[in-house]
Amino acid sequence: MGERVAIVGAGQTLHRSRRLDVSAPELIDEAVQAALTDAGMGPDGIDAIVVGNMEHFEGIHLSDLWAVEGTGGVGKPQLKIATGGTTGSSLSQAAYYLVASGAFRTVLAVGWERLSDSEGETTTGIVTAFDPIYERPTLAGAVSGLAIMACQYQSKYGTRPEDAAEVVIQARENALRNPHAHLRKPVTTAEVLASPMLSTPMRYLDMCPTSDGAAAVLFTSRPGDRSAAWVRGVSGAHNHVYLGDVAEGAASFLNTLTIAAERAYKQAGVTSPREQFDVVEMYEPCTWAALEWAESLGLCAKGQAARLWGEGTTRLDGDLPVNPSGGVLCTNPIGATGLVRVAEGSLQVRGRAGERQVDGARLALTTGFGGSFWSEVMILGRDA
Amino acid sequence: MDIPDVEPVAVEGRIRIPYRWPAGKAGGRFLAALRDESRLLGQRCPKCARVAVPPRPRCLSCGAVADEWVPVGPEGELVSWTVARGGPAPVAWGLVRLDGADTGVLHRLLDVAPEALKSGMRMRAVLDGRRTGQITDIAGFAPAGGATCNR
Ligand SMILES: [Zn+2]
């Protein structure tokens, strides 16, 4: 389908709970310059830009205007993409399509968020994403939506809280190797189980943090002799409007992930994901989601994800490392979060992931999650 | 790598914007029946028979215009639930699939101890005594068999 597309540069900021040292354009600039340096390219090499965030968290509209100086976008075609949690992965998909179409040779994708700007009001930003007539008046917020999903998963498979805890324990261990990660402190099972209950069965340490940060990724059809991660599969699946529709008779809340993954697997020739992928960078907003969605991705049988983590398969030195970066559980600048997955996946197959490198990684699976439980998937390979 | 020290200058602000959101053709009918007749209505698809609550312009399974209205509930099944602990007192939330409907409704769970909540349990809509034509005319869902219907 169209031009072959490669990622030749990926950059991230230092992600922290508060980046009060920089304005939004400066935060974006930090990521863009890192991506250009990684690619060994100047800003003149960029033909078009896609940029996005979740807007409400910063209380601005026309965030593309606000961001333009950070992206170096003055005088260039620039599009804003905003799909909630998937904003970052949608940016990667849009950049891919723009390059694959042949319309542009090299496109920069930039995702960013300053969650600290709306200090303490993150839930307000998320609540405004929901239908104001039927769901907003009865909505319990982002945590409880995921908790309702986790409750269904737990009651179906009898998964224990300590099984979920194992996910964040491994994530925090990995984040120690990632200088960009926000939460870089190990946790124990006892600490997770003793952390405050937010919404049954979700405890404080089961949930992702809120971070300030940005990510930038360069997509091109002309990598030349640059180190490249080739896009091998791309798909997304949107969902019904209401949470009550999402749960309708579905085997899992996130059947959109299965739909998107199956399409992307087909493009990439993936028939047994567990064996063929060398590394996974998954958008897991909470521990329980990592378990359920590993199953949605076909990485193990239904109800078996606790074993995947428990037996260490998902560890950095395991058979199928999941989120060597520490994942969303350690770093979550929402509009960038999905793009961080793609950036990390590309670094892995290019062999540039530093201390968090998975030895010999050749094929990476990356995912995005957002909105009304919708999903996006991008597969990256060392080989075209 | 670490964050450098900079002069900590920031501007504070607040945005307050009132809105009005129309419920539309289908939503108006649904909410008026709830307000004026204490009735819960579902939209039945003429093609695939899927019954949806709340109503919407088209059947989300097959895309047909779902203009047939059928009574649903007031009892239903608790699909999944959670108890949020962030506020001064625990608040229970759940997805309830009303009898006769294929979709679930997200709402508060009332008159039930957190320990007693169980997926699959029977629930009953509790209507608010004061009607405003909004989804909150349903105050929430309580275990079926309880005495309350109106509060
Ligand atoms: Zn239909």
Tell me the whole-structure pTM to 2 decimals: 0.95
- In a 3-state reduction of DSSP, which class is residue A60? coil
Give the SS3 label for residue A166: helix
Calculate how far, in angstroms, residue B61's C-alpha sits from the geometric centre of ligand 1.
5
Average pLDDT score over residue span A267-281: 98
In chain A, residues with a C-beta closer than 8 Å to the C-beta of B105 are 244
pLDDT value, residue B88: 85
User: Cβ B102–A249 below 8 Å, yes or no?
Assistant: yes
Would you call B106 and A179 a contact, using CB atoms and an 8 Å cutoff?
A: no
Residues of chain B in Cβ contact (below 8 Å) with chain A: 1-6, 8, 10, 13, 15, 19, 21, 23, 27, 31, 52-54, 56, 60, 79-86, 91, 93-95, 97, 102-108, 114, 119, 134-136
Residue A186 to residues A9, A191, A324, B144: CA-CA distances in angstroms? 30, 10, 14, 45
- What is the separation, in whole angstroms, between the first and last Cα of chain A? 13
pLDDT score at B151: 42
Of B85, B95, B136, the CB nearest to A244: B95
- Read off the pLDDT of each residue in A218-231 and give the average, rounded to a whole number: 97
Contact list, A138 vs chain B (CB under 8 Å): 93, 106-108, 135-136
User: Are residues B107 and A138, on separate chains, in Cβ contact within 8 Å?
Assistant: yes
Asked if pLDDT for residue A217 goes beyond 50, the answer is yes
Peptide bond into B74 cis (omega under 30): yes
- Establish if A356 touches chain B: CB-CB under 8 angstroms: no
Grade residue B3 by pLDDT with cuts at 50, 70 and 90.
Answer: confident
pLDDT band at residue A301, thresholds of 50, 70 and 90? very high
Compute the nearest-CA separation of A139 from chain B (Å): 7
Average pLDDT over residues A278-285: 98
Nearest chain B residue to A243 by CA: give it: B106
Which tens digit of pLDDT belongs to each residue from A306-359? 999 999 999 999 999 999 999 999 999 999 999 999 999 999 999 999 999 999
Taking contacts as CB-CB distances below 8 angstroms, the residues of chain A near B95 are 148, 243-244, 247
- Across chain A, what does the average pLDDT equal? 93
Which residues of B are less than 8 Å from A14 in CB distance?
A: 1-3
Amino acid B87: pLDDT = 81
State residue B148's pLDDT score.
42
Cβ neighbours around A266 below 10 Å, total: 12
Task: Look at residue B17 and tell me whether its pLDDT is greater than 90.
Answer: no
Q: What is the mean pLDDT of chain B?
A: 90
Q: Over the stretch B60-78, which tens digit does the pLDDT of each residue have?
A: 888 899 889 999 999 999 9
Residue B147 binned pLDDT confidence (cut-offs 50, 70, 90): very low
Fold annotation for A6-120+212-218: Peroxisomal Thiolase; Chain A, domain 1 (3.40.47)
A137:B136 CB<8 A:
yes
Residue B127, pLDDT score? 96
Report the C-alpha dihedral over residues B2, B5, B8, B14, rounded to 10 degrees: -10
Please check whether residue B65 is in contact with residue B113, taking contact to mean a CB–CB distance below 8 angstroms.
no
Q: Are B112 and B126 in contact (CB under 8 A)?
A: no
Contact B82 A200 (CB under 8 A): yes
Pull the structure tokens for residue A294: 């590993």
How many angstroms away from the CA of B111 is the closest CA of chain A? Answer: 16
